[in-house]
Amino acid sequence: MPPVFHMDPYATCLFQTNGTYCFTQFVLTSDTQSDLLDMINVYESIVNYVFLNGTLVVQSFFVIAGLLLAYKMEDLNAQGKVSWKLIPMGVLQIFLRLIPSYGLVILFSVTWFRRMGSGPLWHSNAILEADSCSKYWWTHLLFINNYFDSSYCMVQMWFLAAYVQLMVLGLFVCVLARNRTAKIWTLCIVFIIGMILPAAHTFYQNLEAVLLMTPEFIFSFNDYETFNHVYKRGHTNVPAFILGIALGYYIYHGQKKKVNTQKYEKYQLLFKLTVPVGLMMMFVGLLFKESEDISPYTKAVYAGLMKPIFGFLLCLLIFSSVFKIEHLYRRILEWNLWRIPSRLSYIAYVIHITFIRLVAGLGTSLNTVNYWLMIVNAFGVIASVYILTIPFWLLIEGPINEVINFALIKEGRVKTSKPEVETNQETA
């Protein structure tokens, strides 16, 4: 029999033991010192907001995407190869690069995923996603899934949809603005519009200024309007992407003209403060915990400014690393050990939530929840997912990419860069 969920009569469950599961959700309370009380009070400690408000980190990938696109397009512009034909060619390349592996995971979710287990939690974790993917798979292949709020299918892929949408915007911007004056005006106009949009959403729809991670989020994100209207939309993530494009232009011309970076040495402290200030921005989320007492104007201003400011800090960090002005963070970023995870990061990002749903759905016993267990579980998931990505990359991702690249190079087409998705996106 199918499972029975959400406050169904327990008398029925007690008398019908032939495979019927009873599942209910209830609020836990505690007034004595315990692991439970520690988890309840997690929002009272400012240190925890590095994780609770860590969703800002996602902006770093939009900055990097804009930087790589602008750098490559400016190189083509210098060769006189930029034309309107690059837009459909660039879009085609993005689709060819992303869809093969992505499509296989969606196919797995629609077909075999629902048959891989059973249990009291299987329906709410695995079957729910499989049914949703059966209905909304086409939105993923068109990369518009971040505008469909009722879908539970591979929710983490909102980032990839937003990435593709921003890349299409970036192609238009780079092709349209080919001289210095046009670049400045175009980027400024698009950047200002990009700042206004999330602020307008927050103000007129009375949304939260900060997207804070909560235990209920995994079950209620479809009803979380801040996530739906501000966090995952392509048009609300424009500012960081535009800052990346501007940085890409500056780095390209700075390297070509061999700009003297000695004049920036006096700003060493400023570059070193980029990471601490970025962390402090996450701590600000504590101020918005009780958002009912905060003015809608304050929330709108913060929603419009937080992404550009965080993106600007990241631009400073990248700039200082590229031109070897700052050395502490640069040594970490240039560490050779990052090469292997960076190869596997795209596949890891695509499959990690599906893996988590699989593990959660197979659970049949209670688990103790505390900080150490959460850390162990997090590292266990990261390690397991990356182990799974190795055969996936060797047998599917790597060969398909080589075939596509060979075909595009043979036809004289320009290769574009893929998004670098790191493990910390698992919190997105």
Q: What percent of the chain has pLDDT over 70?
A: 81
| Distance set, CA 170 to CA 18, 82, 212, 255, 341 (Å) | 57, 13, 29, 22, 27
| Mean pLDDT, residues 21-49 taken together | 64
pLDDT tens, position by position, 363-415: 887 777 777 888 888 899 999 999 999 999 999 888 888 888 887 776 654 44
Number of neighbours of residue 269 by Cβ within 10 angstroms: 8
d(CA 274, CA 277): 5
Most confident option among 41-50, 259-268, 346-355? 346-355
* Cβ atoms of residues 318 and 84 within 8 Å: no
Residue among 79, 248, 251, 102 at smallest CA distance from 164: 102
Question: Amino acid letter at 58?
Answer: V
pLDDT 10s digits, 99-144: 999 999 999 999 999 998 888 888 888 898 999 999 999 999 999 9
pLDDT value of position 113: 92
The pLDDT, as a whole number, for residue 141 is 94
Axis crossing angle, helix 180-204 with helix 158-176, rounded to the nearest 10:
150
Q: CA angle at residue 231 from 226 to 234, to 5 degrees?
A: 130
Asked whether residue 6 carries a pLDDT value surpassing 60, the answer given is: no
| Rounded mean pLDDT, 291-308 | 87
Q: Name the helix (H) or strand (E) containing 4.
A: strand 4-5
Q: Which carries the bigger pLDDT value, residue 27 or residue 286?
A: 286
Per-residue pLDDT, 406:
80
Q: What is the pLDDT of residue 11?
A: 54
3 state SS of 84: coil
The residue type found at 131 is D
Report field, pTM of the whole predicted structure over 0.95: no
Mean pLDDT, the chain, integer: 83
User: Any idea how long the chain is?
Assistant: 428
Task: State the Cα–Cα distance between residues 245 and 250, nearest whole angstrom.
Answer: 9
Given this model, what pLDDT does residue 15 score?
54
Contact by Cβ (8 Å): 3, 20: yes
DSSP for 142-210, written as a single string: TT-GGG-TT--TTGGGHHHHHHHHHHHHHHHHHHH--SHHHHHHHHHHHHHHHHHHHHHHHHHTT--SS
| Residue pointed to by tokens 């390209």 | 252
Q: How many CB atoms lie within 10 A of CB 124?
A: 20
pLDDT at 3 over 80: no
Task: Check pLDDT > 50 for residue 98.
Answer: yes
CA 187 to centroid of chain Cα atoms = 23
pLDDT at 422 over 90: no
